[in-house]
Amino acid sequence: MLPPPRTSTSTTSSFEPMTRQNTFSSQDGARSLRQSKRASMTALLVSMNARERDLEISDDLARAQRLLRELKVKISSQSKKNFVLEKDVRYLDSRIALLIQNRMALEEQNEVASHLDEAAELQEGEFPNDEKTQKYGNLLFLLQSEPKHIAHLCRLVTMAEIDSLLQTVMFTIYGNQYESREEHLLLTMFQSVLTHQFETTPEYSNLLRQNTPVSRMMTTYTRRGPGQSYLKEVLSEKINSLIELDEMDLEINPLKVYENMIKQIEESTGTLPEDLPRSVTAEFAAEHPQVHAIIDPRLRTLSNLAEGFLDEIIVAVEDAPYGIRWICKQIRNLSRRKYPDARDEAICTLIGGFFFLRFINPAIVTPKSYMLIERNPDDKPKRTLTYIAKMLQNLANKPLYAKEPYMAKLQPFIQRNKDRCNKFMLDLCEVQDFYESLEMDNYVALTKRDIELNISINEVYATHSLLEKHSTDLARDHDSHLAILLRELGSAPAQLPRKDNRAIILPLYSRWESSFDDLTQQLDITQEEILFLEAKSTFVQIIRSLPDRSRALSRPLRLDRIAEAAGTLRNDPVMVRKGIRCVELLSTLSDMGAVERADDYAVLRDEIEQELAHLGSLKDKVLEETLKLEDVYKTIRDHNTYLLSQLETYKNYLHNVRSQAEGVRRPSNVKEKSRELGPYKFSHAQLEKDGVIKRSNVPDNRRSNIYFMFRSPTAGTFVISLHYKGRARGLLELDLKLDDLLEMQKDNQYELELEYVQFDVPKVLALLNKRFARKK
């Protein structure tokens, strides 16, 4: 049995609710349809009012909403920057490895160097001419408002082309991650691609299994702001407390346990008893009583841990991002449609194949790449995390056969939790659709004059060139809007060199306008309703603008008094106009019989009170969401700082390598290269505070006597020495090469030993970068 439909969208649906209620469920039939249209109308009126900018509401709610909006814009643009940076760092990661291994030819070094220079932020600019701006503005508007084109394109491109397309789609065309219209359009695109996949996959078991442009899209989608904050919320604390326990061994593979056991016995006693042979079969190990004794409590601990994760995930069902839940819903609906006989368990398998396999579990297994923790965990906690992910995956999937026989021991965990896990996955699907409001949003977009897109010229050209390449499929109908635009644009220009590429603000608008009259017609809304809604929204605006202690606001509200109060305000012509309009509206509506003067316009008054109450609770929600998002923004910014410092390190390293290579041929640079830099002195306390010293065995009372000197005899080489106050020479000295540090970092070795202290490799790298940057 499905739970009853919810009355509101998920709490973190994160969209600006404005004065619209997003609450309509397809099950309520005509009434809700009507409601949704009314809600949409309100949105339209508000948007039109906003366009006039005639009344700046500046109560607490408005201010909080403004802050939240700004924060969302920042998150969206920052996560795009990170996405681009991550690509650069990934590319350089692999190149630098080759360079360290001295296997890179000079030409390739040059190529990498130019890539590094390119990684800088784009300059702003604009298209060379207005005609282009206009044509591309039309094209991008079409692409944005009719997601079917991009959905189609995603099916046509190769895996090699998909990455740059996704960057443009996820972070530019639908880049405002918290704007309902763009989000909904993006999801519509998902649906179209998913539907196609369901239609073309012959076997149920192959569905959503392969890596396809769709799965790549889903990955990218889950890594946008909302997915990121959700993962942080449900997983971060659990994972962090788990990796603290770096000695907790929860291995349950009998072979591994057995080997570890005899190793320990041998180490402590020096010999191995006769009955413990060195190499054994998995069956022998699994049967061994001593192995049992070790594994049994571990099974319990693992089950408890995994249940803890599951509790957290299930409790937070309403916090799961709307878009991710909506995708789950599409998976459920599409499978029911294609396989009407499929049982819920089978459907849950598919939902789990997205939600757990592609969203939750990767974050559990590699939490660092999801920004949930700062360092890769040690081996033992890492293994534990892998077990937890495997258990959750088994729970979501409930395979009939345990591929690894020892995993069968965790069956009790599965049995105990499978029902609630299934219920959770079905609950995930219980979100409303958005088609009605999307349709509305699109009309709103048509009436607005100020939709813009932050995009780079090369993104525009790349998109154009992909469309051109696949135009025979995409624009088969020569009279379609897309075909017309593509014809007019001609062939796609080549990519600009990065230095000429510019970030531009492209105004979007449609070549094919639709009028407001069509809209009311299509929405089937009467004149009476339009007036009623206008009255409601105007009253709400007036009330929000009146001072809190105004007499006109005493309860119960008297609408005529409020209108009068606004109409007679001094020094505020806008309010006066609103007030007069309200008086008119009240009288017209009374004449139409929609409201009764005799009962103080009770119908309208009650709706206004409802709206105000809704706005009141909205403020708390807005504040709460702002707090959450500030946290997300901080994480994203920290990650950005990390990526930038990584690039800086690579830059310095490459610079050293090249100047050394050049030095052989052109001795001009020798002076700068071979000049000793430093020494710089750091106290123990300072390095400890900055996290450069990770652990220290120096007794507390001696720490103030210890200091460190850092110097760089030549480019790329460093000496760190440990000194004791009053002694002329250092006690310990460590010679370092930048290569070594980079390699350690690459191998996830984060600790650098200097007898009494342990340095943190990335922090040391950052410090060396800062202090010893040489002239290029």
Partner 1 sequence: MSYQTRREHNIVVLGAGGVGKSCLTAQFVQNVWIESYDPTIEDSYRKVVNVDGRQVVLEILDTAGTEQFTAMRELYMKQGQGFLLVFSITNMNSFYELAELREAISRIKEDDDIPLVVVGNKSDMEDDRAVPRARAFQLAQSWGQKPYFETSARRRTNVDEVFLNLCRQILQKDSVRDQMYEHHAAQRRPARPRHEKRKRRNRDKCVIL
Interacting residues with partner 1 (CB under 8 A): 94, 97-98, 101, 103, 158-160, 205-206, 209-212, 215-216, 219, 253, 255, 274, 277-279, 281-282, 349, 353, 357-359, 361-362, 365-366, 368-369, 386, 389-390, 393, 397, 399-401, 403-404, 697-699, 702, 706, 724, 727, 729-737, 739-740, 743, 754-756
Q: In the structure encoding, which two tokens stand for residue 502, read together?
A: 């510019």
Which of 491/697 has CB closer to partner 1? 697
Which of 22/649 has CB closer to partner 1? 649
Q: Hey, is 370 helix, strand or coil?
A: helix
Task: Give the whole-angstrom CA distance, residue 164 versus residue 149.
Answer: 16
List Cβ neighbours of 768 (8 Å cut-off, separation of 6 or more): 710, 712, 718, 738, 741
Length in residues, the chain: 776
Identify the sign of the CA torsion 382, 385, 386, 387.
positive
Which of 502/737 has CB closer to partner 1? 737
> Is 456 exposed, middle or buried, given 0-12, 13-18 or 19+ CB atoms closer than 10 A?
buried
CB of 221 to partner 1, least distance (A): 12
Task: Give the whole-angstrom CA distance, residue 285 versus residue 571.
Answer: 89
Helix 225-244 with 322-338: angle, nearest 10 deg: 100
CB of 183 to partner 1, least distance (A): 21
Burial 744-763 (b: 16+ CB within 10 A, else e): bbeeeebebebebbbbbbbb
CB of 705 to partner 1, least distance (A): 9
CB of 578 to partner 1, least distance (A): 53
CB of 336 to partner 1, least distance (A): 18
Q: Which amino acid is at 73?
A: V
List Cβ neighbours of 93 (8 Å cut-off, separation of 6 or more): 746
Which of 72/332 has CB closer to partner 1? 332
CB of 207 to partner 1, least distance (A): 9
Which of 217/586 has CB closer to partner 1? 217
Which of 102/129 has CB closer to partner 1? 102
Which of 221/434 has CB closer to partner 1? 221
Which of 91/127 has CB closer to partner 1? 91
CB of 31 to partner 1, least distance (A): 42
List Cβ neighbours of 180 (8 Å cut-off, separation of 6 or more): 15, 16, 434, 437, 441
Which of 99/629 has CB closer to partner 1? 99
Nearest to 226 by CA among 322, 149, 130, 339: 322
CB of 254 to partner 1, least distance (A): 10
List the beta strands (DSSP E) in 17-142. Answer: 123-124
Q: In the structure encoding, which two tokens stand for residue 63, read together?
A: 């201010």
List Cβ neighbours of 311 (8 Å cut-off, separation of 6 or more): none
CB of 706 to partner 1, least distance (A): 8
CB of 406 to partner 1, least distance (A): 10
CB of 258 to partner 1, least distance (A): 11
Which of 386/447 has CB closer to partner 1? 386
Cα–Cα distances in Å, from 655 out to 96, 676, 770? Answer: 12, 17, 15
CB of 16 to partner 1, least distance (A): 30
Q: Which residue has the tokens 């309703």?
A: 529
Task: Give the whole-angstrom CA distance, residue 380 versus residue 80.
Answer: 34
Which of 389/446 has CB closer to partner 1? 389
For residue 135, report the phi and psi dihedrals to the nearest 5 degrees.
-65, -45
Burial 21-32 (b: 16+ CB within 10 A, else e): bbbbbeeeeeeb
Q: In the structure encoding, which two tokens stand for residue 263, read together?
A: 């190793």
Nearest to 354 by CA among 314, 387, 323: 323
Which of 271/491 has CB closer to partner 1? 271
Which of 210/241 has CB closer to partner 1? 210
List Cβ neighbours of 125 (8 Å cut-off, separation of 6 or more): 457, 502, 503, 504
CB of 468 to partner 1, least distance (A): 23
CB of 639 to partner 1, least distance (A): 15
Task: Give the whole-angstrom CA distance, residue 190 versus residue 325.
Answer: 13
Identify the sign of the CA torsion 649, 651, 657, 660.
negative
Number of helices (H), then strands (E), belonging to the chain: the values are: 31, 10
Q: In the structure encoding, which two tokens stand for residue 695, read together?
A: 């652990």
Q: In the structure encoding, which two tokens stand for residue 100, read together?
A: 């360290």
Task: Give the whole-angstrom CA distance, residue 233 versus residue 692.
Answer: 28
Task: Give the whole-angstrom CA distance, residue 559 versus residue 563.
Answer: 6
CB of 581 to partner 1, least distance (A): 55
Which of 139/736 has CB closer to partner 1? 736
Which of 51/209 has CB closer to partner 1? 209
> Is 551 exposed, middle or buried, given 0-12, 13-18 or 19+ CB atoms closer than 10 A?
exposed
